[in-house]
Structure formats: C-alpha cells, structure tokens
Amino acid sequence: MTRQYLVAGNWKMNGSLKANAELLSGIAAQAATVADVELMVCPPSVYLDSVGRALSAGVALGAQNLSEQAKPGAFTGEVHGTMLVEFGCRYVLVGHSERRALYGETDQRVAEKYQTAQTLGLIPVLCIGETLEERESGATELVLSRQLDAVLDRCGIASFQSAVVAYEPVWAIGTGKTASREQAQAAHAFLRGLLAGRDAKIAGSTRLLYGGSCRPDNAHELFSCADIDGGLIGGASLKASDFLAIAAAAQSLSKA
Ligand code: PEP
C-alpha cells in the first residue's frame, strides 16, 4: 500500500515572531520542490495564529499538546482542542516523550488526549518510544506495546484510520544519536504488526513516522525503510534548509 510521506516539524518551546517569519519564508521558498510530501509544523501554541496565517499552501499546522478535557472550562493554563481547530490546526502531537517524562503524562492520560483530539476532528500524532534503559534491558517491545495498547484499548483500531504514530526512541531525541536503519525498521515493523493484529487493512495505511535526531544526512536511509512513512523532526526543523533537505529525501522516495 502506498502511503504519502509526512515530514513534521516539532519546534518545541522555541521561536519568536521574527524567527518564525524567517523560518516560514524559507520553507515557502522551497515547498514546491517537495510537493509530493506532506509538510507540517508544530509551533508553540501562542504562535499558532501567526504561523497559521503565514503558512504556505500545502503546509499543515499542528499543535504540540492539547487538554484531555472533553469541554473547555476551569482548567488554568490548558488549551482545548476546539481552540486548536479554530486556529486552523489539522494535527496535534500527543504523548511526546518530553510530556511523558517532564509533565507526568501517563499512558492513560495520553490515550485520553488522543481520544479528545479525534472527537474534535484533529489528527493525533501519537508519540511512543522506549528509554535507553528500557532498550538495554530488552524491554523495547514491551514498552511499545504498552504505550500503543493503552490507545488501542480505549479508542479501538478504527481510530487509527485517522491517526499517525511516531516512533521516537527517547535516547535519540535531541541527543544527536539516531536509531540505526535496522533498529528503526524493526521497531516500526513491530508497531505495524501490533496494528495488523487488530486490522491488517488499517495497519497497512497508518502512517508511522520516525523521530530522534533525524537530519539531512540520515533521512534518506531512514525513510527508505519499508515501514517508515516520514519523520517527526525536532532540532532540524528549526532551520528551513535542513527541514527541506529532510523533506527532499522523502520526496526522492515518493511514489508518483
Ligand atoms: C522531537 O522533538 O520529537 C525530536 C525528534 O527531536 P530531535 O529531532 O531534535 O531529536
């Protein structure tokens, strides 16, 4: 089954009005050269409005987080999914490892966020991945199944018809240490297998992104793996030329 590559930029807590404008104009200048690849950027929430207005055609807007609450209300500091929709978001990251590790997001909470996002018409990008300690103790598959099952059990396999999964080994995020082609493909094949255990057709069409120190010099190798359908890019998404070079790797592998 052919899946369109998705290359998504997670800006994390970075940016300013000036830096964002420069980054977006750099992306706009080259976006047409990667026309077969879906591009998406996730700025900090306060910039969603200005970034959404400045985005070039064909670049989707995503948020980095949302509240799990079904309805807006007395939840100081939180952002509701209806607000993200109102500002033009199509995607939202859920369960990024920094949210899990630094803000105590449990598998359960992540599943609630995923469900709320979908209920409100957003496409969740479910981030999952093991720590170095978990990998070294041979627990990678156990951790990936636990994180994925929490969502499958709550929302069902049908929900993956409009969801994206990002495999992000925690030890590779922001460390400059990338998973090898073999490690990444093995994890992706394992995840696709878990989805296929519930529904093979849906598993075949779900986009699985790799994230973790993906750069222009390793993107082609990673994206050429059978079960890798694009990337979630942190640091390298803050430089237009790097982000576009990564997208160009996906473009060169795109099936017309
Ligand atoms: C991320 O933040 O999701 C990420 C993959 O970061 P980096 O590319 O910097 O490792």
Specify the 3-state DSSP secondary structure of 234.
coil
In this structure, which amino acid lies at residue 136? E
In the numeric block, which tokens belong to residue 27?
Answer: 């992306």
Q: CA nearest 246: which of 216, 223, 211?
A: 216
Query: Ligand 1: which of 91, 213, 242 to mutate, most ligand atoms within 8 Å of CB?
Result: 213
Distance 25 CA to ligand 1 centre (A): 22
The predicted pLDDT at position 223 comes to 97
Q: Which residue ranges in the chain fall short of pLDDT 50?
A: none
For residue 211, the ligand 1 atom closest to its alpha carbon is: 5
The predicted pLDDT at position 3 comes to 79
User: In the beta sheet, which residues pair with residue 9?
Assistant: 41, 233
The 10s digit of each residue's pLDDT in 226-242 is 999 999 999 999 999 99
The per-residue DSSP string of 124-181 comes to EEEEE---HHHHHTT-HHHHHHHHHHHHHHHH-GGGGGG-EEEE--GGGTTTS-PPPH
The predicted pLDDT at position 255 comes to 66
Distances (CA, A) of 130 to 76, 79, 137, 144: 31, 27, 11, 7
In this structure, which amino acid lies at residue 143? V
Structural domains for the chain: 6-253 (3.20.20.70)
